[in-house]
Amino acid sequence: MPMVTLRTYTDLGQAELDKSLLEAAGIPALLAGENSASAGYGGVLGELRLQVAEADADRARRVLNEHEGFTSLPDDFVPPAEPPQSGAGSEPMDTNQQILEELRKLRKTNQWTCAAALLVLVAVCVWAFLRIPPRQPSPWSDVSAAMHRYDYPTALKLTQDLVAAHPDDYYAHYYLGYIFVEMGDLTHGEAEYARAYELWPSEDMQKRLEAVRKRRQSETSRTNDLNGTLPSTPAR
């Protein structure tokens, strides 16, 4: 059976009060969004909607209109803690008054629950942040700083220490080879590139190794050519 939305709310207490009035009149009612609002998220996830079957819509509107003045309560309204006593023959507390009192208590409980959950969340975040270990400086930062200053001897010494501490680290051998090449020592540069390629045979390392080998061969050939063209010293 199709449902009809009679009213929408942002106040959970007012919505539940109107729902109870309809149910007291024998009209089944549904409060859409009640679970989210009870958890304290009503204003975020959307308004509460009071719904009834389409066949009961007209009668439900009349019931709500008849109690309009009673259900529209100010925000600072606080029901009495105890029902008034007027003697042995007094009537029990009005049902609607009891419902209002319970709803007020429920809303306060939800507010305290949300506040406590927020405090716990903040405490957990602070605890997790404090447990993060401080970031350690990279052992290569000093090497990079020396290279930026073109201080090749210092960079060479630092990198050789790293290679000695981590002999199977391909990157340490690669960087040591790079420093040797920058210093013009192609023999040691080729040896370190070859060791890096042995540890990590990547395409990039292969290209660098081939490039330094070609450069070394070219310089060796040029040196031999120069030696071959030099005039011989006449015998005395």
197 and 171: one domain? Answer: yes
**In this predicted model, what pLDDT tens digit does every residue of 193-218 receive, in sequence order?**
999 999 999 999 899 999 999 998 98
19 and 116: one domain? Answer: yes
Q: Tell me how many domains the chain contains.
A: 2
- Is residue 188 over pLDDT 90? yes
pLDDT of 90 reads 45
Instruction: Name the more confident of 33 and 110.
Output: 110
66 and 18: one domain? Answer: yes
pLDDT of 135 reads 64
- Is residue 103 over pLDDT 60? yes
Which residues, including other chains, have CB under 8 Å from residue 141's CB and lie 6 or more apart?
none
17 and 55: one domain? Answer: yes
- % of the chain surpassing 90 pLDDT: 29
pLDDT, average across residues 119-143: 80
Instruction: Name the more confident of 1 and 169.
Output: 169
- Is residue 167 over pLDDT 90? yes
Domain that holds residue 215: 141-226
40 and 154: one domain? Answer: no
Domain CATH for 103: 3.30.70.1530
**19 assigned to some structural domain:** yes
**234 assigned to some structural domain:** no
179 and 206: one domain? Answer: yes
pLDDT, average across residues 15-30: 88
115 and 170: one domain? Answer: no
The answer, as to whether pTM is greater than 0.95, is: no
**134 assigned to some structural domain:** no
DSSP strand pairing (3-9 vs 29-32): unpaired
